[in-house]
Chain A
Amino acid sequence: MIEPGTLEGWAPSAASGDEFQHVVDLAFDYRGDVTVELSDGAERTGYVFNRDAEGTEPFLEMFETVGGPPERIRYADVRTIRFTGKDTAAGKSYAAWLERKTRAEADSAAADA
């Protein structure tokens, strides 16, 4: 089940300028794998761990799921990014854990009664 508020499954269409930068920033913040569509039609799937939009040649860096050293991809070569992997941060809040624990304790107390 997809967690409300997560980007998991989101597939933005090709963008440019600030909109594109925003998608890259979201991919950088995303705690799951993404699929980067390149302008030549190729795709790379993996975890985006870095991006630099301020240099002369803006780039992102990712570890591909297939392994190997990190790959650096120029913004200029990216068509769009799809959020294809599971969001590993979704549903992991302290509040959610506390709620589960309280419910389990209540169930256990009810079973003992």
Chain B
Amino acid sequence: MSVPLSQMWTVATYVLGQRLRGRRRYPLVLMLEPLFRCNLACAGCGKIQYPAHILKKHLTVEQCLAAVEECGAPMISIPGGEPLMYPEIGRLVQELVDRKKYVYLCTNALLLREKLAEAIFTPSKYLSFSIHMDGLRKEHDDAVCRDGVYDDAADAIRDSLSRGFRVTSNTTLFDGANPLRVREFFDAMMDLGVEGMMLSPGYSYSKAPDQEHFLRRQRTRELFASILDSPKKRWRFNQSPLFLQFLMGKRDFECTPWGNPTYNMFGWQRPCYLLQEGYARTFAELMETTRWERYGRKSGNEKCQDCMVHCGYEPSAVQATFTSLVGFRDTVIATVSGRL
């Protein structure tokens, strides 16, 4: 596993601090979406299908920082849309780094080399470029509906690493993924030199146009079990090993929908990053007025039954690590041994 010790320490002390304060629900990663505009139009993505006047809008840096303060999460993920199309992305990232927030800038990397050449980012332990890579060349280019994107992203990874930036890859695996090809893809990412990989199964967004293509729960377990069986020592993952074991069907968790709250131009999204059932004006309103009992598998909510996505279950895995001796022990064993 490849999460740096300083980041692990920050998360551990944050989680324990929340527990000591008696907070039952607390955020771990803020999903900050400054805009919905994107320079790709991936068929599986329901995030960018808005009228032009919405796509032209974006949050101000001040609105973003106010959301960060309000939320208080130690880690900020900046997806979108394509965050490198946000006109003030350099200033936003620097402000977050100055606040000692761990930032994952989730990008398709098409604009990354241009932005690196403009020197709008400074290498920092708090900043990681999280490059969208859904597989080897053919699989990735198919997933993003454009040829040549894999090669551009690979070049951007090399460029970022040579300039001293932290780089991770983020991968969504869809129904029909070939486990052997995915294992080859892990090798390719390690060859490129990424610090760690992040994985998640796809989800059938209620508004996604590709619902029938996303993984169902059982097939998810089978797929991840075959991909991650006998993991190679050289593979590094930038996520909780307990979450990976959950994906493999080796342990079970309930969803933590408030773990990765989402903020965008519409407000605080209810109830989670994937479901879009309404918006609250403040983070406090989101936490206090969302009917959380309606979500997660135990709730019986049909939309949650097949979901195993990172935004709901990785916070559960992190919580398991830091709130039980068994969870902590299992995390340490998996981290040290590399076995899942």
On A, residues with C-beta under 8 Å from B are 28-29, 31-33, 46-47, 49-52, 61, 63, 65, 67, 70, 85-86, 88-89, 92-98, 101
Contacts and interface: CB of A to CB of B under 8 A. Distances in A.
20 contacts: A31-B49, A31-B207, A33-B53, A46-B53, A47-B50, A47-B51, A49-B54, A50-B278, A50-B279, A61-B279, A65-B51, A65-B53, A86-B51, A89-B46, A89-B49, A92-B41, A92-B43, A92-B209, A94-B209, A95-B210
Nearest to B278: A50
A49 B266 contact: yes
B90 interface: no
A33 B51 CA distance: 7
Given A49-B266, A49-B279, A52-B278, A93 B209 contact: yes
A24 to B, nearest CB: 12
A88 to B, nearest CB: 4
B267 interface: yes
Contact of B54 (A47, A86, A94, A101): A47
B43 A31 contact: no
A75 B50 CA distance: 23
Nearest to B279: A50
Interface residues of B, number: 21
Given A50-B267, A97-B43, A88 B209 contact: no
Nearest to A70: B266
Contacts of A89: 46, 49, 207, 209
B207 A29 contact: yes
A13 to B, nearest CB: 24
B213 A94 contact: yes
Contacts of B284: none
A24 B161 CA distance: 49
A52 B47 CA distance: 21
Contacts of B266: 49-50, 70
Contacts of B278: 28, 50-52
A107 to B, nearest CB: 16
A68 B46 CA distance: 25
B334 to A, nearest CB: 34
Contact of B44 (A46, A88, A94): A94
A88 B49 contact: yes
A96 to B, nearest CB: 8
Interface in B121-145: 142, 145
Given A31-B207, A61-B279, A92-B209, A47 B49 contact: no
A93 B43 contact: yes
B280 to A, nearest CB: 9
B232 interface: no
Contacts of B206: 29
A50 to B, nearest CB: 5
Contact of A94 (B50, B51, B210, B267): B210
B25 interface: no
A52 B280 CA distance: 10
Contacts of A67: 53
B250 interface: no
Contacts of B57: 63
Interface in B7-60: 41, 43-44, 46, 49-51, 53-54, 57
